[in-house]
Structure 1
Amino acid sequence: MPDPGRAPHEKYRVTLPTPRPQFAALPWNCDTVTMLNVYFEVRKDVLLDRLPPEYNRSTPAYCRLVITDHRESPIGPFRDAFLALGCRLTMAPAAFVAASITDNQDALAAGLLERGFPSMLGKIDFEAGVASAHALISDAHGPLLELTMPTLQTIEPSRLAYDHVDAIVTRDDGAIELLITKPDMKIVSAAICKDARIEYPVERDSPWQILNCRNLVSAQVVRGSRIFAAGTKPN
């Protein structure tokens, strides 16, 4: 039987900045991008508490963590990260964003007003070489999550494909609505890590830690280009 989410849309309502900030119009074509992409299992009840009722959870319950470094974009270099709930929308695989962060004010504004994520300003330390990768996500209060990929193994890019990523956006009039962002990464090269680990340097009351990694399933480093586009309403 389907197991629908039980989080009201209001859980994802945000306070929009006043006045409305200016940013380069979307989409942004980002040609030099490195993305760390990780799937890990979480507790079913914790996932359902954060999943809107339009979605059904997948089995097993899992999250997708994405940390992206953009070396070039219309707003200059920036980094962002999101933690998404693995799920299904009308039987199609999807990922719903439960937490997101960026280190750039323009990316924050575009996310809040056009995509529904990122929804927080913070700091993202990021390293990705040929042999290993590492990232540390922090907010204004300190570290949230650390990802380490000690050893990388090159794979064919055609082995990887990603589902659409969804979020709830708050409009200027206070209304909230569901948005879908199509897969936005064109992969040129890829690698996998079989001994990756997620750690939590400091205990925090945050979705980044409440959605705790119980078992890491898959970890990848991909390089290529990304189209940072606005979300659209689901059909």
Structure 2
Amino acid sequence: MPESGLIDSSALPAVDVASDAPAPPWEIGEALVQHITFEIPVPNARRNLPDIVTRSAPTYGRVSMIDRSDSPVGPYREALLMVGCRVGIIPALYVVDAVVNSEAARDAIAAHWRYLPSVGEINVERDDDAITSSFDVGDGLTVTLHSPTTDAAAVAIVRYDPLLVVQPSNGSGAASEIPCEHDVRQAWLSRSSTLSYEGGSRRHPWIQLRSSNAITAVAAVEGQTIEAAAAIELTGA
């Protein structure tokens, strides 16, 4: 039998934030992205997933950094910590934690897509050989993602599963996905990407879900169309 997450969905914090940002869809002209996917222990994955979804097999996490050069709320950067899961038979990436460098982006994301990033510093350095980003994820923890860009690849190498958000609803949970179209223009296979961590405590989700064994890593330049959140009907609901 598939193993469910261990978080009580009904006890998740409800996200209810007002924003005057334009409603989706959002057209993003250009975004610089880094993705690294890695193995995580089964218990750690389940502890960070709600009980209305099941864990992936094998269990994996993903860290993404997106540097959006434009948006309806201006340029902003976002770092995401996600865990692979399934909603019924649908593969998805559950958003465990996120940080943005803009209060306007935080409020818009919370209002339109129902997850609440923290606001922190996100630095990005890019040269001919690599992209390096570092982000303050709170509680004294800084995460750095280094992605070499010397190995150009076909744009089809950049693959996406939908982002998943769960909100409490009627004594259980309600799942929604965030559809996004990706117009990938350049891509790199970043085989020797690294994630490093400075500070923080063992209880921090970024530490609980830290990279153990990298599966794949890519970097890309792309356009994006971020659609409105779409409810997912749960089997047996």
- How far apart, in 1, do the equivalents of 2:145 and 2:119 lie? 19
Are 1:184 and 2:181 matched, yes or no?
yes
Q: Aligned-pair distance for 1:11?
A: 5.1
Corresponding letter in the other structure for 2:98:
S
Corresponding letter in the other structure for 2:113:
R
| Residues 5-41 of structure 1: CA deviation (Å, up to 9, x unaligned) | 1211245415645xx3422322221111111011011
Counterparts of 1:103-118 in structure 2 under 5 Å?
A: 103-118=101-116
Are 1:6 and 2:36 matched, yes or no?
no
Partner of residue 96, structure 1:
94
Q: Contact 1:80/1:118 (CA < 8 Å) preserved in 2?
A: no
- How far apart, in 2, do the equivalents of 1:141 and 1:6 lie? 24
Partner-residue secondary structure (3-state), 2:108: helix
Partner of residue 228, structure 1:
226
RMSD: 2.4
- How far apart, in 2, do the equivalents of 1:80 and 1:111 lie? 11
Q: Aligned-pair distance for 1:44?
A: 0.7
- How far apart, in 2, do the equivalents of 1:100 and 1:11 lie? 19
Corresponding letter in the other structure for 1:195:
S
Mind listing any 5+ residue stretches in structure 1 that lack a counterpart? none
Partner-residue secondary structure (3-state), 2:83: strand
The aligned length equals 232
Q: Contact 2:66/2:78 (CA < 8 Å) preserved in 1?
A: yes
Partner-residue secondary structure (3-state), 1:25: coil
Of 150, 159, 162, the match for 1:161: 159
Of 192, 196, 200, the match for 1:195: 192
Q: Aligned-pair distance for 1:92?
A: 2.3
Corresponding letter in the other structure for 1:3:
E
- How far apart, in 1, do the equivalents of 2:144 and 2:43 lie? 24
Mind listing any 5+ residue stretches in structure 2 that lack a counterpart? none
Q: Contact 1:116/1:170 (CA < 8 Å) preserved in 2?
A: no
Q: Contact 1:63/1:85 (CA < 8 Å) preserved in 2?
A: yes
Counterparts of 1:1-235 in structure 2 under 5 Å?
A: 1-10=1-10, 12-14=12-14, 16=16, 20-139=18-137, 141-150=139-148, 152-169=150-167, 177-204=174-201, 205-235=203-233
Q: Contact 1:101/1:120 (CA < 8 Å) preserved in 2?
A: yes
**Identical-residue share of aligned pairs (%):** 21
Q: Contact 2:19/2:111 (CA < 8 Å) preserved in 1?
A: no
Partner-residue secondary structure (3-state), 1:100: strand
Corresponding letter in the other structure for 1:39:
T
Partner-residue secondary structure (3-state), 2:111: helix
| Residues 80-124 of structure 1: CA deviation (Å, up to 9, x unaligned) | 111111111222221111111111112111211221234211111
TM-score by length of 1: 0.89
